Amino acid sequence: MTAAAISERTNELLLRFNLTTAAAELARRLEQAGQPEVLGLVLEVLEMEAEAREQRKIGRLRRASQLPPGKTFETLDRNVFQPALDRKLRELARGEFLEGAINLLAFGPPGVGKSHAATALGHALIEQGHAVLFRPAYQLVQELLAAKHDLMLPRLLRRLDAAELLILDDIGYVKQSAEEAEVLFTLIAQRYERRSVMITSNLVFSEWERIFKEPMATAAAIDRLVHHAIILEFNSASYRTRARPRVSDPPAEGTMVNKAARSKDDPGD
């Protein structure tokens, strides 16, 4: 590193830590004292400070995110997904979609890895310092409803606004009341074009009237969600069934076949 680069980087870090006077004085003073080379050592320590701060921030973001632990890209088997979907997920993990408040809509039958992929994405974004919040959709709807009854809905919405990505897991899983549909719509409308939402769902759009009750509200919600959105189609076979040992696979030498794991259409022994 050249002396100029060291000086510039030191300045940058001191300003980031709000040490404005130190930023203005440090290099000049060392120069005057005839020890300009000491700045290199100072910079090393400042870099340690920056790294420690970053790690603390990521720890805070991770705790606040309520993301299920362990469901990361490391534990996600990429071979299961269509190559296009896999590529898309990797690209999204870079986080550029957050700038445009792009929404992510993950569709597919149960067990195909929608929630795991959404969670993995959340973890990857946090590693880059982005704020993410993961909520099972029905839970968040209950929280919104409770806040509304206490006249605290605006406050909760403001709090949710801190999340650059709000993951609503499994929307439409339970039948909702009109009031539940209304608070969910309020949330979607409030984030529209400002903050990204990721939704996972087993229901395709044509079934979304079950979520939003009336055709008008359904159309309005879908309209806002898809205006700037990326649709992720999960159409592989269920990972749950796939992970189970299949009876058609001969057991490896020396292993016991677990009878309980056999499917009912297995002719058995």
195 binds, among Mg ion, ligand ADP, none (CB under 5 to 8 A by kind): none
**Segment contacting ligand ADP by CB under 6 A, of 71-79, 85-93, 223-231, 260-268:** 71-79
What single DSSP character describes residue 206?
G
Q: Binder to ligand ADP among 10, 107, 114, 183 (CB under 6 A)?
A: 114
Examine residue 135 and tell whether it contacts ligand ADP (CB under 6 A).
no
Dihedrals phi, psi of 67, to nearest 5 degrees: -70, 135
**Segment contacting ligand ADP by CB under 6 A, of 3-11, 22-30, 113-121, 132-140:** 113-121
Q: Are strands 229-233 and 196-201 parallel, antiparallel or unpaired?
A: unpaired
- Pick 81 or 185: Cβ nearer ligand ADP: 81
- C-alpha dihedral, 37 to 39 to 40 to 44, nearest 10°: 160
Q: Binder to ligand ADP among 10, 115, 196, 201 (CB under 6 A)?
A: 115
Examine residue 201 and tell whether it contacts Mg ion (CB under 5 A).
no
What single DSSP character describes residue 255?
P
- Pick 110 or 245: Cβ nearer ligand ADP: 110
Q: Binder to ligand ADP among 112, 124, 184, 211 (CB under 6 A)?
A: 112
E-state strands within the chain:
103-107, 132-136, 165-169, 196-201, 229-233
Q: Binder to ligand ADP among 37, 44, 54, 77 (CB under 6 A)?
A: 77
Burial of residue 120 (number of CB atoms within 10 Å: 0-12, 13-18, 19+)? buried
Q: What residues does 232 pair with on adjacent strands?
A: 106
Site string for Mg ion, 86-115 (x = CB under 5 A): -----------------------------x
Amino acid of residue 67: L
Q: Which residue is nearest to ligand ADP (CB)?
A: 113
**Segment contacting ligand ADP by CB under 6 A, of 52-60, 105-113, 129-137, 191-199:** 105-113
Q: How far apart are the first and last CA of the chain?
A: 72
Helices (H) and strands (E) in the chain — how many of each? 11, 5
Examine residue 119 and tell whether it contacts Mg ion (CB under 5 A).
no
**Distance (Å, rounded) from C-alpha 23 to C-alpha 12?**
8
Examine residue 224 and tell whether it contacts ligand ADP (CB under 6 A).
no
Q: Are strands 165-169 and 196-201 parallel, antiparallel or unpaired?
A: parallel
- Pick 107 or 185: Cβ nearer ligand ADP: 107
Smallest distance, ligand ADP to C-beta of residue 133, A: 17
Q: What is the contact surface with ligand ADP in residues (CB under 6 A)? A: 71, 75-77, 80, 108, 110-116, 200, 239-240
